[in-house]
A and B are shown apart, each in its own frame.
Chain A
Amino acid sequence: MSTLTTTLPGQAPGPVERAAPTGPARVGPIEGLRHTATLSWRSLVQIKHNPMELLDFSVQPLMFLLLFTYVFGGAIAGSTGDYLTFALPGLMVQNTLFTTLNTGVGLNNDLTKGVFDRLRSLPIARSAPLAGRIVADMVKQTWAIAMMLGLGYILGFRVRTGPLDALAAFGLIILFALAISWASVLVGMLVSEPEKVMVFGFTLIFPLTFISNAFVQTSTMPGWLQAFVKINPVTALADATRGLLSSGPVATPVWHTLLWAAGIAAVFAPLAVNAFKRKV
C-alpha cells in the first residue's frame, strides 16, 4: 500500500491504486439507444398495472370527443356532423397538448420516489431516463390520436385528403407535442411533487388550447381575443391538422406550426436538459 502512494516532484500526492482503464469510459451510441428502448418499455409496461393511466389516455379523449360533438356541436355549428369535421382536429391537438404534462409528471415521480437514484447508479447513458420517458409518451400520444380518429370515423368523420396527408397530420401534432414536452420536462425537474406539474400545466395549457380556434371559429370571438387567437400556435396547429385531414389551407399553418415548434424547443430544450443534468 505504501509503495503505491507515489509523489512525483511537482505533483500533488497521488491517490492510491488507480485501476488500469478496462472497458469504455462512456456509453456508446448503440448501447444508449438500447437503454432508451428498455426504459421506454418500462414506461409502457407500467400501464398494465395502472389501469387509471389507461383510462387517462384512452377513455378521456374519447369522452371529450363525444361530449363536444353531441353537447356543443348543435349549438356551435348547427349540426353535430359539421361540428365533428371542424372540431376533431382541434380535439386531437388539445388532447395531445394536455397529455404532454404526463411526461413531466412521470419524470417528477421518478425523481421524488428515488427511481432516478437507482438508474443513476447504473452504468447507462445519462440521457436514457429522459429519452426513454419521452419515447414512451410519444407512443401513447400516437395511440390516443389514432383512437380519436377511429371514433371520429365511427361518428361520421371522413379524411378527405390522402393517407400521406393524414400521416403528416399525425407527425405534425406529435412534433409539436415534443416541443411542448420540453417545457413539461423543465417543470417536472423543478417542482417538488407530481401534483404541482399538473397544476402548473393546467394553468398554462387550458388558456392556450381554449383561446384558439381548436373548438370554435375565430370570427365568433371579440376582437381583442381574436388578436391572441391568431398568433396562438395552437391555432396554427389546429388549422394545419384540418388542412391535412379534411380541407383548408395547409402550407401556411404548417410552416407556422413548425416555426413555433422549433422556437419553443430552442427555448425549453436547453433549459430542460440543463435542469435534468443537474438532477441526474
Chain B
Amino acid sequence: MLHTMTVTDTHGAPAIVAEGLVKKFGETTALAGIDLEVPAGTVFGLLGPNGAGKTTAVRVLATLLAADAGTALVGGYDVRHDSHRVRRIVGLTGQYASVDELLTGTENLVMIGRLLGLPRSEAKARARELLAEFNLADAAGRSAKTYSGGMRRRLDLAASLVGRPRVLFLDEPTTGLDPRSRNDMWEVVRNLVADGVTVLLTTQYLEEADLLADDIAVVDHGRIIAQGSPEELKKQTGAQTLAVRPADPADTALVETTVAEIVGASPTVAGNLVSVRVTDPAVLPAVVRRLDDAGVTVGEITLRSSSLDEVFLALTGHPATDESAPATVAQDGPADDDPAARIPAAARS
C-alpha cells in the first residue's frame, strides 16, 4: 500500500485523472460530473459543441477554476490542493489568445521565461528558438497587437511551451484557423507527443479528434456521453457515411437493395444517390465487389466521415446545436486575419 504514495510518473500512469467534476455558474451547470483518465504521453480529445463545458473542464484541470465537486490530479498532483506543483508541469493555450498585445512577440516570451526562473540570456534564447519554430521570427520585434489572429494563436501556443510542460491543454486550438494553419497546428501537436508530452485538446471537429487523439470523450451539456478510441467511437456511432451513385439511374433500386443487405440498414435515396451511415469501413470493398458481380457500373462511390452533427444525432438523438453560437459558425470559421474573431466579446470595445 505504501508504494502507492511514491509512484510519480511510471510509464503508462495517467497524466490526468478526474473524478466527478462538477461546476455550476448560477443556474447553468457547465460540468455535470466529468470523469477522465488520460495516460501519459497520449492525446486526449474532448469533443463537443459550443457550450458543452469543454473550456470549463480545461480551466478546472489547469487550476484556473475550482470545481464545486469532484477531484482531479494532473501529473499526480491535486489541482486544488497542490495547484502550484500542477502549474509547474502544465502549459495552457486557452480558447482566446492571451498574449500581451502591448509587448512584442519576443518580450511576451522573455517575460514568461523570466517568470519561470530562466536567467535573462536563457529566456531570450528560448524565446528566439520558439519564435523561429512557430514562424514568427520576422514578427518577433513587433508588438503583438499588429499580429493576425493566426499569429496570435501561434504566439500563445509558444508562450505555453516556454517552460517545456509535461502536460499541455489546448482549448480549441484550430477553431477559426485556415486549413493550412490547422495542418501546422496538428503537426505541432504530433511533434509534442513524440517528445513525450501529454496533450488534452478540445475541439468541435470530429475529424480533428479522429486524426490526433488516442482517446476521445464526447461532451454534451457538461456530461460525457461517449468515450473511447476514435475507432470504437466510430463503430458506436456510425461515424462514416457511404454514398453510391450508379452510372445508370435505372440501377438505383438494385444498388439500394445491395447496400441495405451488406450494411444491414436501410439507405436513404435522393435521386439516384444511395447513402447510409456505416460503422465498418470494410463495407466499401464489399459493396464494390457485389455491384461489380451484378454488372452495375458505379458512377460514384464515397465513404466520408460523419460530421459532429451526425455523430451527435446518433448519440443523443438531438443535433449538436447551441442557442448562443451554432457549431456551423465556427466551422465556416472567420478569416485567419480577423483578430477580433479570437478576442472574447467582453474584451472588444
Contact = CB atoms under 8 A, between A and B. Distances in A.
A and B held together in a complex? yes
B111 A42 contact: yes
Select the residue from A20, A22, A45, A49 with max chain B CB neighbours within 10 A: A49
A121 interface: yes
B143 A49 contact: yes
A201 to B, nearest CB: 17
A120 interface: yes
Given A18-B73, A121-B64, A195-B349, A114 B344 contact: yes
A194 interface: yes
A162 B71 CA distance: 63
Interface string B61-96: 011100000010101111000101101101110101
Contacts of A114: 94, 96-98, 344, 347
Interface in A223-273: none
Nearest to B2: A6
Select the residue from A17, A23, A128 with max chain B CB neighbours within 10 A: A17
A39 B344 CA distance: 23
18 contacts: A1-B12, A4-B4, A6-B1, A18-B7, A20-B5, A25-B82, A45-B103, A114-B344, A114-B347, A117-B64, A118-B112, A119-B115, A121-B91, A121-B160, A122-B163, A123-B87, A123-B88, A192-B346
Interface string A20-50: 1111111100010011001101100110011
A15 B98 contact: no
B344 A115 contact: no
Given A6-B4, A113-B343, A193-B349, A18 B76 contact: yes
> Would you list the 8 A-B pairs with minimal beta carbon distance, nearest first?
A19-B76, A114-B98, A46-B102, A123-B87, A118-B98, A49-B143, A121-B92, A123-B88
Contacts of A39: 111, 115
A121 B64 CA distance: 7
B9 interface: yes
B118 to A, nearest CB: 10
B6 interface: yes
Contact of A15 (B78, B156, B349): B78
Interface string A89-116: 0000000000000000000000011111
Contacts of B347: 112-114, 193
Interface stretch (B13-21, B210-218, B260-268, B300-308): B13-21
B100 interface: yes
A116 B96 CA distance: 12
Contacts of B111: 38-39, 41-42
Interface in B1-40: 1, 4-9, 12-14, 17, 19
Interface string A136-180: 000000000000000000000000000000000000000000000
Given A38-B115, A120-B63, A193 B78 contact: no
Nearest to B165: A121
Contacts of B156: 118
B103 A117 contact: no
Contacts of B335: none
B59 to A, nearest CB: 8
B164 interface: no
A17 B13 contact: yes
Contacts of B6: 20
A242 B45 CA distance: 66
Contact of B71 (A15, A41, A42): A15
A49 B82 CA distance: 38
Given A16-B17, A112-B346, A121 B62 contact: yes
A124 interface: yes
Contact of B64 (A17, A120, A193): A120
B99 interface: yes
Contacts of A120: 63-64
Given A21-B85, A112-B347, A194-B349, A45 B107 contact: yes
